A and B are shown apart, each in its own frame.
Chain A
Amino acid sequence: MRKTTVFTDLKPLALAPIGRPVRIVEIVGGRGLRNRLAHMGLFPGTVVVVELREAHGPVVINRGGTRIGVGTGMARKILVQPDETHS
């Protein structure tokens, strides 16, 4: 039962709620992209907060005090879900 709720909550970072912690679940993209994000400290499992977001535009996320701008294209490839442990 729980699993279904989890998956309906899955959405791209580009559509994530502002100001609430979300957990990165999956990165849909090639090796280069996953690796690039990993070097910024963004792995599946990392919790981030969306600070700013424009509809269909780029996103600013906060990861433990570091602010990262994620471009429009990438924000669509990072899938997140609300993080219950932190809220």
Chain B
Amino acid sequence: MKPIPKGKSQRLRVLRVAIAGTPNSGKTTLFNTLTGTHQETGNWPGVTVEKKEGVFTVQDYRVQVVDLPGVYGLSAYTTDEQIARDYLLHEHPDAVIVVVDATNLTQGLLLVLQILQLRVPTIVALNMMDQAEQEGLEINIAELERFLGVPVVPIVAVKGRGIRQLKERLLETVGRVPPEPRIPVDPRFEEAQRRLVRLLQESPLAREVPLAWLAQRLLVEDPWALALVQKDPLYPQIRRVLNETLPQLRHHLGADLEVYLVEQAYALLHGLVQRVVRRRATLRKRLVFTQKVDRVLLSPWFGLPLFAVVMALTFEATFQLSAPLVDLIAHGFDLLAQLLRDLLAGTPVPAWLTSLLLDGVLSGVASVLTFVPPIFLLFGFIAFFENTGYMARVAFVMDRFMHALGISGKSFIPMVLGFGCNVPAIMATRTLESEKDRLITILVIPLMSCSARLPVYVLFASVFFPGREPLVVLSLYFLGIALALILIKVLQRVMFHQREPESFVMELPPYRMPYLRNILLYMWMRGRVFVKNAGTIILVASVVLWALASLPPGVEYAGPRSVLGWIGRMLAPLLKPAGFGFAEAAIALLTGVMAKELVVGTLGTLLAGGSVEGLQHALGQYFTPLSAYAFLVMTLIYVPCIATVAVIKQETGSWKWAAVEVAMTFSLGYFLAVLVYQVGRLVL
């Protein structure tokens, strides 16, 4: 036996608790309120759905919480539903907290009923009570508790109201299997269900899943349930019962028995809500206000231009506000590097080690940190727009256009964010419901010209196309967009053989004033994940790059005799068909993988010893306008920067998709650059 550790931890019992609820009911807010910053984010195994886990302590318990994906039911038609169902069924949590939006009781309780059928200890957190009060809703909590047979605790997750009671009553809930919900269904259905339960009692499945629920799932011909009993020795008898009863049930209750059950539950809850909710001669003001605003925001004539303006201002604000900070960080690190260099010069530390520390590690840290201010700010703006309810409207307005592409309107927002920075854009795809849409959106975002590519465009355009710079720059932006749209179609065909476009139904919540705390926490959590995961990869990459640029010992940094220079010379012939077949271009592109704006810096160092005017002059000797344009096309498309690659790995949970992305963009970029150059030579 293991020795019991002494001290306080000896008494801490571990509880495992899941938070479930409908989308947007406030699960994540509650999760954050409970765990603070003691949380980890990752993915559920094998899928691109976010998994959040955290801990908090209450009395003598250490409670491990997991934030389940938002679902309307447990029928498992979507990945999210499968995750939630599998977790509740197979992981046997000590309790589940079901978050119910008090302003939308019926829908929330529908999920509660379905979870009660799984016989997991359950407690209901009745959230958004502040909103309910504002709307003049009075909810009889005691009556609700009597009806459900489980604790119901009113809370306001954003303000932390009711959290103490929730924690206390959570402890009461643990180990208490709730009563089975009684949804009135046709006696014939009940009889068929009883027959199946009797049969299944003999089966080993009886110890794994609640039988009444399994029987119900069999009667609605849930493919998952059917697969589960297929291996059972009783399968022939089960099949016979189904064959005997189903035609009759369908005849009487409608072809889709699943919809029949949901409708029965809805009717039951409708009656309940009538009894427990009193609507004081209401303030319907907010609804009316929302309807008025929506008339404007949801019309393409106003909604789209407005969105364009909003995004332009957002990017402008993000970069204006973060520029001084980025400068400060960059200068600070330059100073620090200088200082350390002087310090180390007088010591026996070998020069290569100094260089590793300063040019490799320190500059890697610096490049991670310079990403931080814009990314945090952009996350802040995203959180703001999401929390007000505006993002749902944008998705709605864009739907008709995105529908033509076969993708839901919800993919539009992350794509637009890509113009600011690909990294937060890819992280913003977490709001997409369909996993297919999410993966496709992640893979096309790098084609959106992020702000780091702009300096490269501007430099080349000013040297080779004076007077027509805006045209050149815009053409590159549009090229990226066009490629993204084509790629969406291609990926759908190739990866998913998808015919039907994804579509959505979503509630359009009333506009809400966001809470600062929520926004800050969102910024912090998202930003932290970036620094931790992507930051590590960037750091490693920058050390590797340093090694390539400064080995073998004694060579000039990134000079022609370094490994990097050698690789550049090897690659140069490959780039010849694109019109820029010289080592410096290849090296610049290689360093651009670290961050695209480095393309300019590297060219400056290699071609002009670091001077800007010198570079402008030198470029003219190496490039023609045509090859310059081909080079820009290459810069736009070839390989996303390392931070983006890292974040693709982080969000899809596997290196596979990151590798697919690199291979795909590299071949596409190379192909198009060659195409531009070769066709251009023929035409011009």
* Bound form: Cα–Cα A9–B244 in Å: 38
Q: In the bound complex, do residue B505 and residue A34 qualify as a contact, i.e. CB atoms below 8 Å apart?
A: no
B342 contacts the other chain (CB 8 A): no
**A39 and B107 contacting across the interface, CB-CB below 8 Å:** yes
The answer to whether the Cβ of A15 comes within 8 Å of any Cβ in the partner chain is no
Binary contact track A47-62/B, C-beta < 8 Å → 1, others 0: 0000110101110100
Interface flags for B63-86 (1: CB within 8 Å of A; 0: not) read: 000000000110101100000000
Residues of B within 8 A of A37 (CB): 505
* Residue among B78, B256, B399 making CB contact with A57, cutoff 8 Å: B399
A66 at the interface (CB under 8 A from B): yes
Q: Is the CB of B298 within 8 A of A40?
A: no
Contact of A2 with B by CB under 8 A: no
Task: Name the distance in Å between A2's Cβ and chain B's nearest Cβ.
Answer: 22
Q: In the assembled complex, which residues on chain A have CB atoms less than 8 Å from the CB atom of B506?
A: 68-69
Question: Using an 8 Å CB-CB cutoff, how does the interface string of B372-414 with A read, 1 for contact, 0 for none?
Answer: 0000000000000000000010001001100100001100000
CB contact list, A6-53 vs B, under 8 A: 31-32, 34-43, 51-52
Chain B residue contacts of A66, Cβ below 8 A: 104, 507
Question: 1/0 per position for A65-78, CB-CB distance to B under 8 A?
Answer: 11111111110000
Report how far A39 CA is from B287 CA in the complex, Å.
22
| Cross-chain contact A71 with B408 (CB below 8 angstroms) | yes
Assess A71 versus B399: contact at CB under 8 Å? Given A35-B73, A41-B106, A51-B291. Answer: yes
B505 touches A74 (CB 8 A): yes
Q: Interface residues of A, CB < 8 Å — how many?
A: 29
| Interface residues of chain A: helix, strand, loop or mixed (majority) | mixed
Identity of the chain B residue whose Cβ is nearest the Cβ of A57 in the assembled complex: B400
Q: Which of B474-522 contact A (CB under 8 A)?
A: 500-508
Determine how close the nearest CB of chain B comes to the CB of A49; give it in whole angstroms.
12
Partner of A58, one of B75, B256, B409: B409
Quick one: which of A34, A36, A68, A74 contacts B507, CB cutoff 8 A?
A68
Choose one: A35, A36, A52; the contact of B298 (CB below 8 Å): A52
Known pairs A52-B294, A69-B505; A34 contacts B399 (CB<8 A): no
Minimum CB distance partner of B114 in chain A: A39
B40 neighbours in A (Cβ, 8 Å):
none
* A-B contacts at CB below 8 angstroms, number: 104
Are A73 and B502 in contact (CB-based, < 8 A)? yes
Would you call B295 an interface residue if the criterion is a C-beta within 8 Å of the partner chain's C-beta atoms? yes
A60 to chain B, nearest CB (A): 6
Contact B503 A74 (CB under 8 A): yes
Is B266 close to A, CB under 8 A?
Answer: yes
Residues of A within 8 A of B501 (CB): 72-73
Across-interface contacts of A54 in B (CB, < 8 A): 299-300, 400
Cα distance A38–B14 when bound, in Å? Answer: 38
B505 touches A71 (CB 8 A): yes
Closest B residue to A37 by beta carbon equals B505
Distance in angstroms from B49 CB to nearest chain A CB is 17
Interface status of B259 (Cβ within 8 A of chain A): yes
Q: What are the residues of chain B within 8 A of A56 when measuring CB–CB?
A: 400
In angstroms, Cα B505 to Cα A66, docked, is 12
B262 within 8 A of A: yes
- Which one of A31, A40, A67 lies within 8 Å of B258 (CB-CB)? A31
* Interface flags, B257-274, vs A, CB<8A=1, else 0: 011001100100000000
Taking a contact as CB atoms under 8 Å apart, the answer to whether B259 and A69 are in contact is: no
Contacts of A71 in B (CB 8 A): 399, 403, 408-409, 503-505
Nearest chain A CB to B401 CB, angstrom units:
9
* Cβ contacts A to B, 28 pairs, < 8 Å: A31-B256, A32-B78, A35-B73, A35-B77, A36-B505, A37-B505, A38-B258, A39-B72, A39-B110, A40-B507, A41-B107, A42-B505, A43-B259, A43-B263, A51-B291, A58-B399, A58-B403, A60-B396, A66-B104, A67-B290, A69-B505, A70-B505, A71-B399, A71-B408, A71-B409, A72-B403, A72-B501, A73-B403
The 3 residue pairs across chains A and B that have the minimum distance between CB atoms: A73-B503, A57-B400, A39-B72
Residues of A in contact with B (beta carbons under 8 Å apart): 31-32, 34-43, 51-52, 54, 56-58, 60, 65-74
A-B contacts besides A52-B298, A68-B507, 7 pairs, CB < 8 Å: A40-B505, A60-B396, A67-B294, A68-B505, A69-B504, A72-B503, A74-B503
